[in-house]
Structure 1
Protein backbone atom coordinates (compact mmCIF):
# COMPACT_ATOMS: atom_id res chain seq x y z
CA UNK A 1 0.00 0.00 0.00
CA UNK A 2 1.38 3.41 -0.99
CA UNK A 3 2.35 5.80 1.79
CA UNK A 4 0.07 8.89 1.77
CA UNK A 5 1.86 12.15 1.01
CA UNK A 6 0.90 15.79 1.55
CA UNK A 7 -0.54 17.62 -1.37
CA UNK A 8 2.59 19.54 -2.41
CA UNK A 9 0.70 22.07 -4.51
CA UNK A 10 -1.64 22.89 -1.62
CA UNK A 11 1.29 23.15 0.81
CA UNK A 12 3.33 25.46 -1.42
CA UNK A 13 0.38 27.73 -2.12
CA UNK A 14 -0.06 28.63 1.55
CA UNK A 15 0.55 32.34 1.93
CA UNK A 16 3.67 33.34 3.88
CA UNK A 17 2.97 35.52 6.92
CA UNK A 18 6.16 37.50 6.28
CA UNK A 19 6.39 40.88 4.60
CA UNK A 20 9.34 43.04 3.59
CA UNK A 21 9.74 46.08 5.83
CA UNK A 22 12.16 48.98 5.59
CA UNK A 23 13.48 50.08 8.98
CA UNK A 24 14.95 53.59 8.74
CA UNK A 25 17.12 54.06 11.83
CA UNK A 26 18.92 57.20 12.92
CA UNK A 27 22.49 56.11 13.64
CA UNK A 28 25.03 57.98 15.75
CA UNK A 29 28.50 56.87 16.72
CA UNK A 30 30.64 59.57 18.40
CA UNK A 31 33.78 57.55 17.60
CA UNK A 32 33.07 57.90 13.88
CA UNK A 33 31.35 61.27 13.40
CA UNK A 34 29.76 64.15 15.29
CA UNK A 35 26.72 63.95 13.00
CA UNK A 36 23.93 61.41 12.97
CA UNK A 37 22.83 59.69 9.76
CA UNK A 38 19.77 57.76 8.66
CA UNK A 39 20.37 54.17 7.58
CA UNK A 40 17.85 51.83 5.92
CA UNK A 41 17.55 48.11 6.60
CA UNK A 42 15.20 45.81 4.71
CA UNK A 43 14.05 42.77 6.64
CA UNK A 44 11.48 39.98 6.33
CA UNK A 45 9.18 39.94 9.34
CA UNK A 46 5.73 38.85 10.44
CA UNK A 47 3.68 42.06 10.78
CA UNK A 48 2.32 40.74 14.08
CA UNK A 49 5.81 41.00 15.56
CA UNK A 50 7.08 44.08 17.35
CA UNK A 51 9.49 46.85 16.47
CA UNK A 52 11.79 45.37 19.11
CA UNK A 53 11.79 42.08 17.18
CA UNK A 54 12.74 43.99 14.02
CA UNK A 55 15.64 45.66 15.84
CA UNK A 56 16.77 42.25 17.11
CA UNK A 57 16.76 40.86 13.56
CA UNK A 58 18.92 43.75 12.39
CA UNK A 59 21.37 43.49 15.29
CA UNK A 60 21.65 39.70 15.26
CA UNK A 61 21.59 39.04 11.53
CA UNK A 62 22.61 42.23 9.69
CA UNK A 63 24.59 44.76 11.74
CA UNK A 64 25.82 43.86 15.20
CA UNK A 65 26.91 47.45 15.87
CA UNK A 66 23.31 48.68 16.17
CA UNK A 67 22.91 49.85 19.77
CA UNK A 68 19.70 50.12 21.78
CA UNK A 69 18.43 49.38 25.28
CA UNK A 70 15.96 46.68 26.19
CA UNK A 71 15.48 44.39 29.15
CA UNK A 72 12.19 42.68 29.99
CA UNK A 73 10.72 43.10 26.46
CA UNK A 74 7.21 43.08 27.91
CA UNK A 75 6.40 46.74 28.66
CA UNK A 76 7.41 46.66 32.32
CA UNK A 77 11.02 47.89 32.54
CA UNK A 78 10.55 50.87 30.19
CA UNK A 79 14.12 50.71 28.91
CA UNK A 80 13.28 50.55 25.18
CA UNK A 81 11.49 53.89 24.83
CA UNK A 82 12.29 55.47 21.45
CA UNK A 83 10.73 57.63 18.76
CA UNK A 84 8.95 55.41 16.25
CA UNK A 85 7.44 57.20 13.26
CA UNK A 86 7.86 60.47 15.14
CA UNK A 87 6.07 59.36 18.31
CA UNK A 88 7.48 58.20 21.64
CA UNK A 89 6.66 54.53 22.16
CA UNK A 90 8.01 51.36 23.73
CA UNK A 91 9.52 49.19 20.98
CA UNK A 92 8.35 46.06 22.80
CA UNK A 93 4.70 47.17 22.73
CA UNK A 94 4.56 48.51 19.17
CA UNK A 95 3.43 46.01 16.54
CA UNK A 96 4.74 46.34 12.99
CA UNK A 97 1.22 46.06 11.56
CA UNK A 98 0.02 49.03 13.59
CA UNK A 99 2.49 51.56 12.16
CA UNK A 100 1.94 51.35 8.40
CA UNK A 101 4.67 48.86 7.34
CA UNK A 102 4.08 49.74 3.66
CA UNK A 103 6.21 52.84 4.26
CA UNK A 104 9.66 53.05 5.90
CA UNK A 105 9.39 52.81 9.68
CA UNK A 106 11.56 55.50 11.26
CA UNK A 107 13.26 54.80 14.57
CA UNK A 108 15.37 57.30 16.50
CA UNK A 109 16.42 58.13 20.05
CA UNK A 110 14.05 60.03 22.33
CA UNK A 111 14.54 63.80 22.34
CA UNK A 112 15.84 66.15 25.02
CA UNK A 113 18.56 63.85 26.37
CA UNK A 114 22.11 63.51 25.04
CA UNK A 115 22.47 60.64 22.56
CA UNK A 116 25.36 58.36 23.51
CA UNK A 117 25.10 55.98 20.57
CA UNK A 118 22.35 55.14 18.07
CA UNK A 119 19.16 54.77 20.16
CA UNK A 120 20.80 55.03 23.58
CA UNK A 121 20.57 58.31 25.51
CA UNK A 122 22.12 59.54 28.76
CA UNK A 123 19.35 58.99 31.33
CA UNK A 124 21.22 60.55 34.26
CA UNK A 125 19.51 64.01 34.09
CA UNK A 126 16.14 62.24 33.97
CA UNK A 127 16.90 60.10 37.02
CA UNK A 128 18.41 63.04 38.90
CA UNK A 129 15.12 64.92 38.58
CA UNK A 130 13.37 61.77 39.82
CA UNK A 131 15.66 61.56 42.84
CA UNK A 132 15.23 65.27 43.59
CA UNK A 133 11.48 64.93 44.29
CA UNK A 134 12.12 62.37 47.06
CA UNK A 135 10.33 59.35 45.52
CA UNK A 136 9.95 57.43 48.76
CA UNK A 137 7.66 57.33 51.78
CA UNK A 138 8.61 59.78 54.54
CA UNK A 139 7.18 59.41 58.04
CA UNK A 140 8.05 60.69 61.48
CA UNK A 141 8.35 59.00 64.82
CA UNK A 142 9.48 55.51 65.71
CA UNK A 143 9.55 52.57 63.36
CA UNK A 144 6.02 51.08 63.28
CA UNK A 145 5.33 47.73 64.88
CA UNK A 146 2.59 46.90 62.35
CA UNK A 147 1.66 47.70 58.76
CA UNK A 148 0.63 51.27 58.00
CA UNK A 149 -2.96 50.68 56.99
CA UNK A 150 -4.71 52.70 54.31
CA UNK A 151 -8.30 52.71 53.10
CA UNK A 152 -9.18 51.73 49.56
CA UNK A 153 -10.42 55.28 48.99
CA UNK A 154 -7.12 56.81 50.14
CA UNK A 155 -5.19 54.40 47.91
CA UNK A 156 -7.33 55.23 44.91
CA UNK A 157 -6.40 58.91 45.27
CA UNK A 158 -2.93 58.29 43.83
CA UNK A 159 -3.43 54.94 42.13
CA UNK A 160 -2.89 56.28 38.60
CA UNK A 161 0.57 57.69 39.29
CA UNK A 162 1.84 54.43 40.81
CA UNK A 163 1.88 52.96 37.28
CA UNK A 164 4.96 54.92 36.13
CA UNK A 165 7.79 52.70 34.83
CA UNK A 166 10.34 55.53 34.39
CA UNK A 167 10.66 55.02 30.65
CA UNK A 168 11.05 58.79 30.05
CA UNK A 169 8.56 58.70 27.17
CA UNK A 170 6.51 61.49 28.74
CA UNK A 171 9.42 63.72 29.74
CA UNK A 172 11.18 63.39 26.38
CA UNK A 173 7.94 64.28 24.55
CA UNK A 174 7.69 67.63 26.39
CA UNK A 175 8.69 70.72 24.33
CA UNK A 176 9.61 72.60 27.52
CA UNK A 177 12.06 69.83 28.44
CA UNK A 178 13.52 69.85 24.92
CA UNK A 179 14.37 73.53 25.27
CA UNK A 180 15.42 73.54 28.91
CA UNK A 181 16.90 70.42 30.44
CA UNK A 182 16.62 72.00 33.91
CA UNK A 183 12.83 71.46 33.96
CA UNK A 184 11.92 68.60 36.29
CA UNK A 185 9.74 67.08 33.59
CA UNK A 186 6.46 65.16 33.72
CA UNK A 187 7.84 61.87 35.07
CA UNK A 188 9.42 63.48 38.13
CA UNK A 189 6.20 65.38 38.88
CA UNK A 190 4.14 62.21 38.46
CA UNK A 191 6.35 60.42 40.99
CA UNK A 192 6.12 63.34 43.39
CA UNK A 193 2.31 63.22 43.00
CA UNK A 194 2.36 59.55 43.98
CA UNK A 195 3.72 60.47 47.44
CA UNK A 196 2.21 63.94 47.92
CA UNK A 197 -1.27 62.41 47.86
CA UNK A 198 -0.38 59.29 49.86
CA UNK A 199 -2.20 59.57 53.22
CA UNK A 200 0.66 57.75 54.97
CA UNK A 201 3.33 60.21 53.86
CA UNK A 202 4.39 63.28 55.87
CA UNK A 203 6.64 65.14 53.43
CA UNK A 204 4.01 66.56 51.08
CA UNK A 205 4.85 70.16 51.93
CA UNK A 206 8.53 69.55 51.34
CA UNK A 207 7.91 68.04 47.91
CA UNK A 208 5.57 70.88 46.99
CA UNK A 209 8.28 73.41 47.82
CA UNK A 210 10.73 71.50 45.63
CA UNK A 211 8.25 71.62 42.73
CA UNK A 212 7.47 75.29 43.40
CA UNK A 213 10.93 76.08 42.03
CA UNK A 214 11.27 78.00 38.75
CA UNK A 215 12.08 74.69 37.05
CA UNK A 216 9.11 72.92 38.67
CA UNK A 217 5.44 72.47 37.81
CA UNK A 218 4.89 76.06 36.71
CA UNK A 219 6.97 75.41 33.61
CA UNK A 220 4.29 73.03 32.30
CA UNK A 221 2.40 74.49 29.31
CA UNK A 222 -0.33 71.81 29.28
CA UNK A 223 0.29 70.57 25.73
CA UNK A 224 -0.81 67.01 26.67
CA UNK A 225 2.20 65.53 24.82
CA UNK A 226 3.13 63.67 28.00
CA UNK A 227 -0.30 62.08 28.42
CA UNK A 228 -0.34 60.99 24.77
CA UNK A 229 3.15 59.46 25.06
CA UNK A 230 2.65 57.47 28.28
CA UNK A 231 2.65 53.72 27.44
CA UNK A 232 0.87 52.95 30.72
CA UNK A 233 -2.04 55.32 30.07
CA UNK A 234 -1.30 57.57 33.05
CA UNK A 235 -3.18 60.89 32.98
CA UNK A 236 0.07 62.80 33.32
CA UNK A 237 -1.27 66.28 32.59
CA UNK A 238 -4.06 65.77 35.14
CA UNK A 239 -1.51 64.78 37.79
CA UNK A 240 0.56 67.91 37.07
CA UNK A 241 -2.53 70.10 37.38
CA UNK A 242 -3.38 68.47 40.72
CA UNK A 243 0.08 69.27 42.02
CA UNK A 244 -0.34 72.90 40.88
CA UNK A 245 -3.69 73.07 42.66
CA UNK A 246 -2.16 71.63 45.84
CA UNK A 247 0.54 74.32 45.71
CA UNK A 248 -2.09 77.05 45.57
CA UNK A 249 -4.55 75.63 48.11
CA UNK A 250 -2.10 73.64 50.28
CA UNK A 251 -4.72 70.92 50.37
CA UNK A 252 -3.72 67.39 49.43
Structure 2
Protein backbone atom coordinates (compact mmCIF):
# COMPACT_ATOMS: atom_id res chain seq x y z
CA UNK A 1 0.00 0.00 0.00
CA UNK A 2 2.94 2.36 0.60
CA UNK A 3 4.40 2.07 -2.90
CA UNK A 4 1.73 4.16 -4.69
CA UNK A 5 2.10 6.88 -2.07
CA UNK A 6 5.86 6.96 -2.62
CA UNK A 7 5.39 7.16 -6.37
CA UNK A 8 2.98 10.08 -5.91
CA UNK A 9 5.52 11.91 -3.74
CA UNK A 10 8.30 11.36 -6.29
CA UNK A 11 6.04 12.49 -9.12
CA UNK A 12 5.04 15.62 -7.20
CA UNK A 13 8.71 16.37 -6.55
CA UNK A 14 9.59 15.91 -10.20
CA UNK A 15 6.78 18.25 -11.21
CA UNK A 16 7.75 21.00 -8.76
CA UNK A 17 6.62 24.39 -10.06
CA UNK A 18 9.53 26.21 -8.44
CA UNK A 19 12.31 27.82 -10.42
CA UNK A 20 15.48 29.65 -9.39
CA UNK A 21 15.06 33.39 -9.80
CA UNK A 22 17.59 36.19 -9.32
CA UNK A 23 16.34 39.55 -8.07
CA UNK A 24 18.81 42.39 -8.65
CA UNK A 25 17.78 45.15 -6.24
CA UNK A 26 19.00 48.74 -6.14
CA UNK A 27 20.06 49.15 -2.51
CA UNK A 28 20.71 52.41 -0.65
CA UNK A 29 21.66 52.60 3.00
CA UNK A 30 22.29 56.26 3.87
CA UNK A 31 23.49 55.35 7.36
CA UNK A 32 26.29 53.28 5.77
CA UNK A 33 27.17 55.00 2.48
CA UNK A 34 26.07 57.88 0.29
CA UNK A 35 26.27 55.64 -2.78
CA UNK A 36 23.58 53.28 -4.03
CA UNK A 37 24.55 49.82 -5.28
CA UNK A 38 23.06 46.69 -6.83
CA UNK A 39 22.66 43.49 -4.83
CA UNK A 40 21.58 40.07 -6.14
CA UNK A 41 19.37 37.61 -4.29
CA UNK A 42 18.58 34.08 -5.49
CA UNK A 43 15.23 32.54 -4.60
CA UNK A 44 13.18 29.47 -5.34
CA UNK A 45 9.84 30.78 -6.54
CA UNK A 46 6.68 29.66 -8.25
CA UNK A 47 6.50 31.65 -11.51
CA UNK A 48 2.90 32.53 -10.59
CA UNK A 49 4.07 34.34 -7.46
CA UNK A 50 4.39 38.10 -7.50
CA UNK A 51 7.44 40.32 -7.24
CA UNK A 52 6.08 41.46 -3.89
CA UNK A 53 6.14 37.84 -2.69
CA UNK A 54 9.80 37.66 -3.68
CA UNK A 55 10.62 40.86 -1.82
CA UNK A 56 8.82 39.55 1.25
CA UNK A 57 10.82 36.31 1.15
CA UNK A 58 14.06 38.27 0.92
CA UNK A 59 13.11 40.48 3.86
CA UNK A 60 11.77 37.68 6.03
CA UNK A 61 14.36 34.99 5.26
CA UNK A 62 17.52 36.55 3.80
CA UNK A 63 17.98 40.22 4.68
CA UNK A 64 15.71 41.94 7.17
CA UNK A 65 17.21 45.34 6.33
CA UNK A 66 15.61 45.42 2.87
CA UNK A 67 13.21 48.39 2.88
CA UNK A 68 10.16 48.92 0.68
CA UNK A 69 6.56 50.07 1.02
CA UNK A 70 3.57 47.76 0.80
CA UNK A 71 0.16 47.52 2.40
CA UNK A 72 -2.91 45.91 0.83
CA UNK A 73 -0.97 43.68 -1.61
CA UNK A 74 -3.95 43.72 -3.99
CA UNK A 75 -3.37 46.74 -6.24
CA UNK A 76 -5.60 49.12 -4.29
CA UNK A 77 -3.33 51.11 -1.97
CA UNK A 78 -0.68 51.89 -4.62
CA UNK A 79 2.14 51.95 -2.06
CA UNK A 80 4.42 49.38 -3.73
CA UNK A 81 5.04 51.15 -7.05
CA UNK A 82 8.61 50.56 -8.23
CA UNK A 83 10.65 50.09 -11.41
CA UNK A 84 10.75 46.42 -12.37
CA UNK A 85 12.91 45.60 -15.38
CA UNK A 86 12.95 49.30 -16.21
CA UNK A 87 9.17 49.84 -16.14
CA UNK A 88 6.97 51.33 -13.46
CA UNK A 89 4.73 48.64 -12.00
CA UNK A 90 3.02 47.60 -8.79
CA UNK A 91 5.04 44.79 -7.20
CA UNK A 92 1.84 43.19 -5.92
CA UNK A 93 0.36 42.97 -9.44
CA UNK A 94 3.47 41.82 -11.30
CA UNK A 95 3.88 38.06 -11.71
CA UNK A 96 7.37 36.56 -11.82
CA UNK A 97 6.54 34.70 -15.05
CA UNK A 98 5.69 37.98 -16.78
CA UNK A 99 9.08 39.65 -16.24
CA UNK A 100 11.40 37.10 -17.88
CA UNK A 101 12.65 35.12 -14.86
CA UNK A 102 15.37 33.48 -16.99
CA UNK A 103 17.39 36.67 -16.50
CA UNK A 104 18.00 38.74 -13.35
CA UNK A 105 14.89 40.77 -12.53
CA UNK A 106 15.94 44.33 -11.73
CA UNK A 107 14.02 46.16 -9.01
CA UNK A 108 14.69 49.82 -8.21
CA UNK A 109 12.81 52.81 -6.83
CA UNK A 110 10.63 55.00 -9.04
CA UNK A 111 12.44 57.92 -10.67
CA UNK A 112 12.16 61.65 -10.11
CA UNK A 113 11.74 61.45 -6.32
CA UNK A 114 14.55 61.37 -3.75
CA UNK A 115 15.59 57.85 -2.72
CA UNK A 116 15.40 57.62 1.06
CA UNK A 117 16.34 53.97 1.56
CA UNK A 118 16.38 51.02 -0.83
CA UNK A 119 13.04 51.09 -2.69
CA UNK A 120 11.51 53.89 -0.60
CA UNK A 121 11.37 57.42 -2.04
CA UNK A 122 10.25 60.76 -0.60
CA UNK A 123 6.62 61.07 -1.74
CA UNK A 124 6.05 64.54 -0.24
CA UNK A 125 6.59 66.51 -3.51
CA UNK A 126 4.14 64.17 -5.24
CA UNK A 127 1.47 64.59 -2.56
CA UNK A 128 2.04 68.35 -2.38
CA UNK A 129 1.19 68.64 -6.07
CA UNK A 130 -1.90 66.53 -5.40
CA UNK A 131 -2.98 68.83 -2.56
CA UNK A 132 -2.33 71.94 -4.67
CA UNK A 133 -5.01 71.03 -7.24
CA UNK A 134 -7.74 70.97 -4.56
CA UNK A 135 -8.74 67.27 -4.83
CA UNK A 136 -12.10 67.66 -3.11
CA UNK A 137 -15.63 68.74 -3.97
CA UNK A 138 -16.20 72.49 -3.68
CA UNK A 139 -19.73 73.89 -3.50
CA UNK A 140 -21.35 77.12 -2.37
CA UNK A 141 -24.40 77.98 -0.37
CA UNK A 142 -26.01 76.17 2.52
CA UNK A 143 -25.54 72.51 3.23
CA UNK A 144 -28.13 70.57 1.23
CA UNK A 145 -30.88 68.65 2.95
CA UNK A 146 -30.50 65.74 0.51
CA UNK A 147 -27.69 64.18 -1.47
CA UNK A 148 -26.41 66.00 -4.54
CA UNK A 149 -27.88 64.02 -7.40
CA UNK A 150 -25.97 63.37 -10.60
CA UNK A 151 -27.03 61.65 -13.81
CA UNK A 152 -25.22 58.59 -15.12
CA UNK A 153 -24.13 60.64 -18.13
CA UNK A 154 -22.60 63.35 -15.94
CA UNK A 155 -20.81 60.75 -13.84
CA UNK A 156 -19.45 59.04 -16.95
CA UNK A 157 -17.74 62.31 -17.94
CA UNK A 158 -15.07 61.85 -15.27
CA UNK A 159 -15.48 58.19 -14.35
CA UNK A 160 -12.08 57.13 -15.68
CA UNK A 161 -10.12 59.54 -13.50
CA UNK A 162 -11.82 58.39 -10.30
CA UNK A 163 -9.76 55.19 -10.54
CA UNK A 164 -6.48 56.84 -9.47
CA UNK A 165 -4.85 55.20 -6.43
CA UNK A 166 -2.01 57.76 -6.07
CA UNK A 167 0.73 55.21 -6.66
CA UNK A 168 2.86 57.80 -8.54
CA UNK A 169 3.61 55.30 -11.32
CA UNK A 170 2.43 57.75 -13.98
CA UNK A 171 4.13 60.84 -12.56
CA UNK A 172 7.46 59.09 -11.99
CA UNK A 173 7.42 57.73 -15.56
CA UNK A 174 7.26 61.26 -17.01
CA UNK A 175 10.53 62.63 -18.50
CA UNK A 176 9.44 66.20 -17.74
CA UNK A 177 8.98 65.31 -14.07
CA UNK A 178 12.38 63.59 -13.96
CA UNK A 179 14.09 66.77 -15.14
CA UNK A 180 11.96 69.31 -13.30
CA UNK A 181 10.46 68.39 -9.95
CA UNK A 182 8.31 71.55 -10.04
CA UNK A 183 5.97 70.09 -12.68
CA UNK A 184 2.62 69.10 -11.20
CA UNK A 185 2.81 65.76 -12.94
CA UNK A 186 0.17 63.48 -14.50
CA UNK A 187 -1.38 62.19 -11.25
CA UNK A 188 -2.15 65.69 -9.94
CA UNK A 189 -3.70 66.65 -13.29
CA UNK A 190 -5.76 63.45 -13.35
CA UNK A 191 -7.13 64.24 -9.89
CA UNK A 192 -7.88 67.82 -10.93
CA UNK A 193 -9.71 66.45 -13.98
CA UNK A 194 -11.86 64.29 -11.72
CA UNK A 195 -13.31 67.44 -10.08
CA UNK A 196 -13.08 69.91 -12.98
CA UNK A 197 -15.59 67.83 -14.92
CA UNK A 198 -17.78 66.89 -11.95
CA UNK A 199 -21.17 68.57 -12.52
CA UNK A 200 -21.64 69.04 -8.76
CA UNK A 201 -18.39 70.98 -8.27
CA UNK A 202 -18.11 74.78 -8.48
CA UNK A 203 -14.34 75.31 -8.44
CA UNK A 204 -13.48 74.13 -11.94
CA UNK A 205 -12.28 77.56 -13.07
CA UNK A 206 -10.07 77.87 -10.01
CA UNK A 207 -8.42 74.53 -10.69
CA UNK A 208 -7.91 75.44 -14.34
CA UNK A 209 -6.08 78.59 -13.26
CA UNK A 210 -3.87 76.54 -10.96
CA UNK A 211 -2.97 74.22 -13.85
CA UNK A 212 -2.45 77.17 -16.21
CA UNK A 213 0.74 77.94 -14.28
CA UNK A 214 4.15 77.53 -15.96
CA UNK A 215 4.61 74.28 -14.03
CA UNK A 216 1.10 73.10 -14.86
CA UNK A 217 -0.59 71.21 -17.65
CA UNK A 218 1.30 72.91 -20.50
CA UNK A 219 4.53 71.16 -19.48
CA UNK A 220 3.11 67.86 -20.77
CA UNK A 221 4.88 66.68 -23.93
CA UNK A 222 2.40 63.87 -24.73
CA UNK A 223 4.88 60.98 -24.61
CA UNK A 224 2.19 58.57 -23.32
CA UNK A 225 4.59 57.19 -20.68
CA UNK A 226 2.01 57.99 -18.02
CA UNK A 227 -0.79 56.09 -19.74
CA UNK A 228 1.45 53.07 -20.30
CA UNK A 229 2.55 53.07 -16.65
CA UNK A 230 -0.88 53.37 -15.01
CA UNK A 231 -1.74 50.06 -13.26
CA UNK A 232 -5.43 51.00 -13.26
CA UNK A 233 -5.67 51.52 -17.00
CA UNK A 234 -6.56 55.21 -16.78
CA UNK A 235 -6.21 57.11 -20.05
CA UNK A 236 -3.95 59.66 -18.41
CA UNK A 237 -2.78 61.42 -21.57
CA UNK A 238 -6.38 61.80 -22.73
CA UNK A 239 -7.34 63.39 -19.40
CA UNK A 240 -4.44 65.85 -19.66
CA UNK A 241 -5.49 66.82 -23.18
CA UNK A 242 -9.07 67.40 -22.01
CA UNK A 243 -7.81 69.77 -19.31
CA UNK A 244 -5.74 71.63 -21.93
CA UNK A 245 -8.80 71.90 -24.18
CA UNK A 246 -10.89 73.22 -21.30
CA UNK A 247 -8.27 75.89 -20.64
CA UNK A 248 -8.34 77.01 -24.27
CA UNK A 249 -12.10 76.99 -24.73
CA UNK A 250 -13.09 77.66 -21.09
CA UNK A 251 -15.82 75.08 -21.58
CA UNK A 252 -16.10 72.50 -18.81
Query: TM-score band (shorter)?
Result: over 0.9
Indicate how the Cα distance of structure 1 residues 165 and 141 shifts in structure 2: closer, same or farther if over 3 A, else same: same
Indicate how the Cα distance of structure 1 residues 155 and 5 shifts in structure 2: closer, same or farther if over 3 A, else same: closer
TM-superposition CA deviations, 1:155-194 (whole Å, max 9, x none): 0000000000000000000000000000000000000000
> What displacement does 1:37 show?
0.2
Indicate how the Cα distance of structure 1 residues 45 and 139 shifts in structure 2: closer, same or farther if over 3 A, else same: same
Alignment of 1:68-217 (within 5 A): 68-217=68-217
SS at match of 2:2: coil
> What displacement does 1:4 show?
7.4
Query: Structure 2 CA distance, aligned partners of 1:227 and 1:19?
Result: 33
Query: Structure 2 CA distance, aligned partners of 1:122 and 1:12?
Result: 46
> What displacement does 1:13 show?
5.3
Indicate how the Cα distance of structure 1 residues 11 and 147 shifts in structure 2: closer, same or farther if over 3 A, else same: same
Query: Structure 2 CA distance, aligned partners of 1:151 and 1:134?
Result: 23
> What displacement does 1:14 show?
3.3
Indicate how the Cα distance of structure 1 residues 154 and 144 shifts in structure 2: closer, same or farther if over 3 A, else same: same
TM-score (norm 1): 0.97
Q: Structure 1 segments of 4 or more deviating over 2 A?
A: 1-14
> What displacement does 1:11 show?
3.5
Is 1:219 matched with 2:199? no
SS at match of 1:60: helix
Query: Structure 2 CA distance, aligned partners of 1:159 and 1:8?
Result: 52
Query: Structure 2 CA distance, aligned partners of 1:146 and 1:46?
Result: 53
Query: Structure 1 CA distance, aligned partners of 2:84 and 2:119?
Result: 11
TM-superposition CA deviations, 1:9-45 (whole Å, max 9, x none): 7546531110000000000011111110000000000
Indicate how the Cα distance of structure 1 residues 206 and 120 shifts in structure 2: closer, same or farther if over 3 A, else same: same
Query: Structure 1 CA distance, aligned partners of 2:148 and 2:70?
Result: 36
Indicate how the Cα distance of structure 1 residues 234 and 31 shifts in structure 2: closer, same or farther if over 3 A, else same: same
Indicate how the Cα distance of structure 1 residues 130 and 8 shifts in structure 2: closer, same or farther if over 3 A, else same: closer
Indicate how the Cα distance of structure 1 residues 144 and 31 shifts in structure 2: closer, same or farther if over 3 A, else same: same
Indicate how the Cα distance of structure 1 residues 211 and 4 shifts in structure 2: closer, same or farther if over 3 A, else same: closer
Q: CA RMSD in A?
A: 1.5
Moved more, 205-214 or 13-22: 13-22
Aligned residues: 252
Query: Structure 1 CA distance, aligned partners of 2:121 and 2:176?
Result: 18
Query: Structure 1 CA distance, aligned partners of 2:114 and 2:145?
Result: 46
Indicate how the Cα distance of structure 1 residues 5 and 164 shifts in structure 2: closer, same or farther if over 3 A, else same: closer
TM-superposition CA deviations, 1:218-244 (whole Å, max 9, x none): 000000000000000000000000000
SS at match of 1:5: helix
Consecutive unaligned residues in structure 1, runs of 5 or more: none
TM-superposition CA deviations, 1:119-147 (whole Å, max 9, x none): 00000000000000000000000000001
Consecutive unaligned residues in structure 2, runs of 5 or more: none
Query: Structure 2 CA distance, aligned partners of 1:184 and 1:9?
Result: 58
TM-superposition CA deviations, 1:87-139 (whole Å, max 9, x none): 00000000000010000000000000000000000000000000000000000
Indicate how the Cα distance of structure 1 residues 200 and 8 shifts in structure 2: closer, same or farther if over 3 A, else same: closer
TM-score (norm 2): 0.97
